[in-house]
A and B are shown apart, each in its own frame.
Chain A
């Protein structure tokens, strides 16, 4: 095929001016490498988060109070999710698909051990929390039903808390002080190895009654302590929606909400959480790669500029080729293929650069995300760089075809 025979001509012309070709390609190289890296990081981050969420169980439901102000006028927000709600939801007669309803009251407070102290997020909860949230123990055990009932001064801590306070993780039986009260450490959580989403390394867990009655100054609503959230498990993945409905009905009933009233609480499932995370990460990835794509346009304009210079420099050559019998289409294809080769080469180097970067970054110990560059991204990169060459090479190539051979041959 004749088309193939233009490629050696293009390669000749590019290698004759290596420095210039390299600088011209730089825009495309940087553009392609940036877009691919951002797509890779975006995909990797989203895969990581989704894994994390999925590992915590897909049957979990989380109930949180809405923070809207109650009644007429704009008063202070009142939280209405209480221990009374949790007790009601624990009744299996009305909630056949809901098991293990776990209340939580969380706050930030200082933990003291000897001369060390650490500001820690401490959650008051019940024994089922470990099961519902998929917590693994590194040392000791989680809180027991008996400790919850007796409101014992016991605490389970994350590894970061243990190392900050004691410089080691084998600390079961040691004691920490909260508000001057001593708490016995009964367990240390497994390190999550993930500094990001869903990590409990910096947390502490105490019986809910202790948190409500002694540690935090917790307000009451209609005589019951409020909770910051509650979680529950559905009996199976298929019954998550049914469980959600049962919870919603009970809570609406307890609040006396009419048909036209909105919920003053939200129930989120893992599925809805996954959807939200997916939407957020893909929006972010799209935004960042759009910014990176601007450099592709800038690179394309660089190509157009250099091709115009090249056409002017080679006016005499174009005149000669026309005198020797080149058709307009021959001249057009010659210059179009030259810019195509230039951008394709730039695109391939850009792909290599992004792969190199990914491998380099992966060598960093404990780097939180994998960079995933998929085949579809590669095809996109090759396609976009080829498209750049054709679009930005067209105008210079048309300029070349319009040259009058007599004038062009006389050009010095």
Chain B
């Protein structure tokens, strides 16, 4: 068992997809650790492996090789049910296309992770409203997605990601579907939440978004080619392995 104070600890992670006869390595021996309270941007062109990395960090996918631990606990060999519980408890997802349910009011969207966490209905509703207050949408709790602007929809999605108090907020191109001004609002909200202590990982190909982060990790062809912060010599280490 890896002994580490890090929130996320990845050692030599590889992910190989089999496409017919050929094998494609989406990740090729990535080592990375993220401390609690960090604000990290992962950048790279499409095909660089950043989405695969995000899927592994988000427990949506498991690595072919390597050790992956959260809170010092190894997360390999887990059942689908245990992975689902980890996603529910540890990770808050924010997607480019918001991914809200078409017909449910905002508070029902936000409540959803608590439904799967078996939180009692009354408590769930209360916590959903608290999360909506946190993103500044308390008065829009009864509105459906079609009655909300793009920026408001993304804030509902952020409230949904926050509601079960995750260890890590994982955002995949969170401003990709927004215009510059509302994108700016969403980024400001992320930064406010980071100030309040939230660990934040943003996957993006937008250089402007990436530069706002305290730490920028750049990926290409399944390896990390630069890391502006984090553990010393991470990039070098990576190349050596």
Q: Which residues of A contact B (CB under 8 A)?
A: 2, 5, 12, 16, 316-317, 319-328, 330, 405-406, 409
Contacts and interface: CB of A to CB of B under 8 A. Distances in A.
Contacts, number: 53
A335 to B, nearest CB: 15
Interface of A is mostly: helix
A231 to B, nearest CB: 73
Given A317-B101, A327-B84, A405 B116 contact: no
Contact of A325 (B61, B102, B113): B113
A256 to B, nearest CB: 87
Contacts of B80: 327-328
B99 interface: yes
A326 B99 contact: no
A323 B58 contact: yes
A322 B84 contact: yes
B68 interface: no
A319 B93 CA distance: 12
Contacts of B84: 322, 325-328
Contacts of A5: 115, 121
A328 B88 CA distance: 13
Interface string B52-66: 000100101100000
A324 B81 contact: no
B160 interface: yes
A16 B112 contact: no
Contacts of B93: 323-324
Contacts of A326: 84, 116
B148 interface: no
Interface in B54-107: 55, 58, 60-61, 80-81, 84-85, 87-89, 93, 95, 99, 101-104
A12 B112 CA distance: 14
A5 B117 CA distance: 13
B180 interface: no
B116 A406 contact: no
Interface in B91-150: 93, 95, 99, 101-104, 112-113, 115-118, 121
Interface string B159-185: 010001000000000000000000000
A120 to B, nearest CB: 72
Nearest to A329: B81
Contacts of A325: 84-85, 87-89, 113, 116-117, 164
A324 B89 CA distance: 9
A2 B88 CA distance: 17
B214 to A, nearest CB: 26
The 9 closest A-B pairs by CB, nearest first: A325-B88, A325-B116, A320-B99, A324-B113, A325-B87, A326-B116, A327-B84, A323-B93, A325-B84
Given A317-B101, A323-B93, A330 B116 contact: yes
Contacts of A319: 99
A330 B115 CA distance: 10
A113 B179 CA distance: 101
B240 to A, nearest CB: 30
Given A12-B103, A326-B84, A409 B95 contact: yes
**Residue among B84, B102, B117 facing the most chain A CB atoms (10 A cut-off):** B84
Contacts of A405: 60
Given A327-B81, A405-B60, A12 B104 contact: yes
B99 A316 contact: yes
A14 to B, nearest CB: 11
B104 A406 contact: no
12 contacts: A16-B102, A317-B101, A323-B58, A323-B87, A325-B84, A325-B87, A325-B113, A326-B116, A327-B80, A327-B81, A327-B116, A409-B95
Contacts of B88: 324-325
